[in-house]
Chains A and B, each alone.
Chain A
Amino acid sequence: MGVHARPAAQIVKIASKYKSDVYISKNGREINGKSIMGVMMLAAEMGSELLFKIQGEDEEQAMAALVELVNNKFYEE
């Protein structure tokens, strides 16, 4: 039905697959990308530019997966 897009859940699910720390910021506010509560708080802010900061042993894979998620519009049907 796609009424309630679930991008927040998608981000968290993917971020949690990786060992690296994932931080997302918007309007200068930064949250842990593995926390759904954090991502929801971020989503409550106006604006649509997200900055991903990823650090750790599998940072490249994690970044690639998140970029793919965003580019695929969160795999919405």
Chain B
Amino acid sequence: MNEKKKKNPKRMIRLQGIGASQGIAIGKVFLLTGDIIKVEERTIAVAEIEKEIKKFKRAVELTRKELAEIQIQARQRIGKEGEQIFDAHQLLLDDKIINDATIEKVQSECKNADFAYYKVMQGFQQSLENVDNEYFQGRLADIRDVKRRLIRNIQGKEPHYLNNLTNPAIIISNDLTPSETVLMDRQKVLGFVTNVGGKTSHAAIMARSLEIPAVVGLQDITNVVESNDTIILDGNQGVVILNPTAAELNKYLKLRDRHNEITKELSKIRDLPCRSLDGKDVDLSANLEFPGEINSIITYGARGIGLFRTENLYLAKSELPSEEEEFEEYYKVAEKVSPYPVIIRTLDIGGDKKPACIDIPEEDNPFLGWRAIRFCLEKADLLKKQIRAILRASVMGNVKMMIPMVSCLEEICKTKAIIEQAKAELRAQKMPFDEQMELGVMIEVPSAAIMADVIAEEVDFLSIGTNDLIQYTLAVDRGNANVAHLYKRLPPSVLRIIKQVVDAGHSKGVWVGMCGEMAADPLATLILLGLDLDELSVSPAMLPEVKRIIRAATFEQAERIAEKALQMKTSDEIETYIRNVMATRYKQKNLY
């Protein structure tokens, strides 16, 4: 008799991925392994060939009908963009080269149709897999989607639709195809987590449209979880927590409820100003990753865009966008947010962001290497093209330009020289632009923070980028598990630097904002208010929460809290202190 071993309670595991769609979900795992197709190689009799070819053609027809239905769903649920994704699927299905090659393989090698098709697709897929960029990863997802569907139909198997889920669950899968995503039932699919994917993959884009929380790029989570495990998915932070402890679960349940409550309260707070009880205004704006997110950002009540990341215009493309393309994207966003400002950050590539359309060499130490403005200044044509596009868009509204990764004054002077060239060209071409367009720099390198007073003399504003500033100040790579614990939320060293930068900016009469994660951290809000930051740019989902905290405090109290925090010696001490303040002032315990 086999004695069943009682399983030890599973250990809590925390995994960092990429937050593809915001929101928090808590639930049971539904491990989706149905995406693995099995194809057997068989040799068929010559007499069977015609039958096999017919089978293939019938499967193509059936697939065409399925795709047409999905396309209707996509149009209804996601809109024109969703519909277009499946245009490409139809074209792949009808691709003469693929289908002829499949039939040829059945005829000449006497192979079964599903195997022949599989082999043909495999050949194409392999040559695309070697192209290491997000754009082609996205195309591969299309190819896989069509391939699976057609093979399933050749084999005469039933589709496994996610909407056949009986209980609400969090889907864990290697990859989700666009068609799987678009058919998701919002009531049953609490969220999804995948091994592969990036922010611009189709599944991610659709998840945002459908408002389903998602974390992607977790590499091998399908090997770590089992169905019915409990899992927490935090799409805001890109984190998943497996088998959470009671305390962790409790914390996230509260966070989720809070998030839902806020969503409900949103309509009440969204049109109210971000003003403290004693009348101090903070410009609360949002970070914009994709121009398409602009509508939801406005829904969340943002007064402007404090950081428009332009990398995605490049990352998702196989070729450099033209000046016209860039101009149109910027123009559209400026038009949408006008009269509020949009701060467009020039290209911040290098480090971990490498577009296919720009050749950036491998480096041993990319975060200290050739990235952002350092790269752009060497590629002056690229930078000038972008600056021209930004300048041209400035006629449409309140556009400001910001330079990332500045480490010394010389970089600002060089960039300004290129701006002047661009302006001179535009004047000569009689193209209108805003002569007074504000220029700012990101303060994210300690050397720039220390020299903030000098830098402030050259620009109109400073915006503190806390993610890199913390990383560079503490010399900690957050992605390195051995040192990640040294990366803190509220390091006293960084708070001192922030104070110094704000004071330096104000002494030179320029405004100072913040656009890193700290700006959206509710635990930091009172300190930042007290340090007199003029602007905070946060991820859209955090807008109402930050606004709520500021609206319930006075600037005077916040100043005292900041002062006290600055006298403390460790990040933990500061966190504990702020938690206590929040608990008494806002009646919220252990919320953040």
**B457 at interface by CB-CB < 8 Å:** no
Q: Hey, which chain B residues are within 8 Å of A48, CB to CB?
A: 319-320
Q: Hey, which chain B residues are within 8 Å of A3, CB to CB?
A: 200, 205, 290, 292, 312, 316
Do residues A36 and B205 form an inter-chain contact, with CB atoms below 8 A? no
Q: Hey, which chain B residues are within 8 Å of A67, CB to CB?
A: none
New contact pairs (13) apart from A5-B317, A41-B128, CB-CB < 8 Å = A1-B292, A3-B205, A4-B85, A4-B138, A5-B316, A9-B91, A35-B95, A37-B92, A37-B124, A41-B127, A44-B128, A73-B324, A76-B328
A-B contact count, CB below 8 Å? 76
Give the complex CA separation of A75 and B226 in angstroms. 46
Do residues B318 and A44 form an inter-chain contact, with CB atoms below 8 A? yes
Q: Hey, which chain A residues are within 8 Å of B128, CB to CB?
A: 40-41, 44
Q: Hey, which chain B residues are within 8 Å of A19, CB to CB?
A: none
Give the complex CA separation of A6 and B124 in angstroms. 19
Contacts A1-B291, A3-B312 known; A43 to B318 CB distance under 8 Å?
yes
**B325 at interface by CB-CB < 8 Å:** yes
Q: Which of A3, A12, A36, A48 has the most CB of B within 10 A?
A: A3
Write the A33-51 contact mask toward B (1 if CB under 8 angstroms, else 0).
Answer: 0111110110110101000
Q: Hey, which chain A residues are within 8 Å of B98, CB to CB?
A: 35, 37
**B64 at interface by CB-CB < 8 Å:** no
Do residues A44 and B325 form an inter-chain contact, with CB atoms below 8 A? no
19 A/B residue pairs, CB under 8 Å, sorted by A: A4-B138, A4-B200, A4-B202, A4-B205, A6-B88, A8-B88, A9-B87, A13-B91, A32-B96, A35-B95, A35-B97, A36-B92, A36-B95, A41-B127, A44-B127, A44-B136, A73-B322, A73-B324, A76-B325
Q: Hey, which chain B residues are within 8 Å of A76, CB to CB?
A: 325, 328
**B84 at interface by CB-CB < 8 Å:** yes
Q: Which of A1-35 contact B (CB under 8 A)?
A: 1-6, 8-9, 12-13, 32, 34-35
Q: Hey, which chain A residues are within 8 Å of B318, CB to CB?
A: 43-44
Closest chain A CB from B178 CB (angstroms): 10
Closest chain A CB from B556 CB (angstroms): 44
Residues of B whose CB lies within 8 Å of any CB of A are 81, 84-85, 87-88, 91-92, 95-98, 124, 127-128, 131, 135-136, 138-139, 143, 200, 202, 205, 290-292, 312, 316-320, 322, 324-325, 328-329, 359
Closest chain B CB from A75 CB (angstroms): 11
Do residues B96 and A34 form an inter-chain contact, with CB atoms below 8 A? yes
Q: Hey, which chain B residues are within 8 Å of A5, CB to CB?
A: 316-317
Do residues B291 and A9 form an inter-chain contact, with CB atoms below 8 A? no
Closest 8 CB pairs of A and B: A1-B292, A36-B91, A35-B97, A44-B131, A9-B88, A3-B316, A43-B318, A35-B95
Do residues B290 and A36 form an inter-chain contact, with CB atoms below 8 A? no
Do residues B139 and A6 form an inter-chain contact, with CB atoms below 8 A? no
Contacts A13-B91, A37-B95, A43-B318 known; A6 to B84 CB distance under 8 Å?
yes
Give the complex CA separation of A36 and B92 in angstroms. 6
Contacts A4-B316, A37-B98, A44-B128 known; A12 to B291 CB distance under 8 Å?
no
Closest chain B CB from A5 CB (angstroms): 6
Give the complex CA separation of A43 and B136 in angstroms. 9
Give the complex CA separation of A4 and B86 in angstroms. 13
Closest chain B CB from A19 CB (angstroms): 14
Q: Hey, which chain B residues are within 8 Å of A13, CB to CB?
A: 87, 91
Cβ-closest chain A residue relative to B131: A44
Q: Hey, which chain A residues are within 8 Å of B202, CB to CB?
A: 4
Closest chain B CB from A10 CB (angstroms): 9
Closest chain B CB from A28 CB (angstroms): 16
Do residues B88 and A36 form an inter-chain contact, with CB atoms below 8 A? yes
Q: Which of A42-77 contact B (CB under 8 A)?
A: 43-44, 46, 48, 73, 76-77
Q: Hey, which chain A residues are within 8 Å of B329, CB to CB?
A: 2
Q: Hey, which chain B residues are within 8 Å of A9, CB to CB?
A: 84, 87-88, 91
Cβ-closest chain A residue relative to B136: A44
Contacts A3-B316, A6-B84, A6-B88 known; A38 to B97 CB distance under 8 Å?
yes
Closest chain A CB from B65 CB (angstroms): 19
Do residues A73 and B91 form an inter-chain contact, with CB atoms below 8 A? no
Do residues B292 and A2 form an inter-chain contact, with CB atoms below 8 A? yes
Give the complex CA separation of A41 and B128 in angstroms. 7
Cβ-closest chain B residue relative to A38: B97
Q: Hey, which chain A residues are within 8 Å of B139, CB to CB?
A: 8, 40
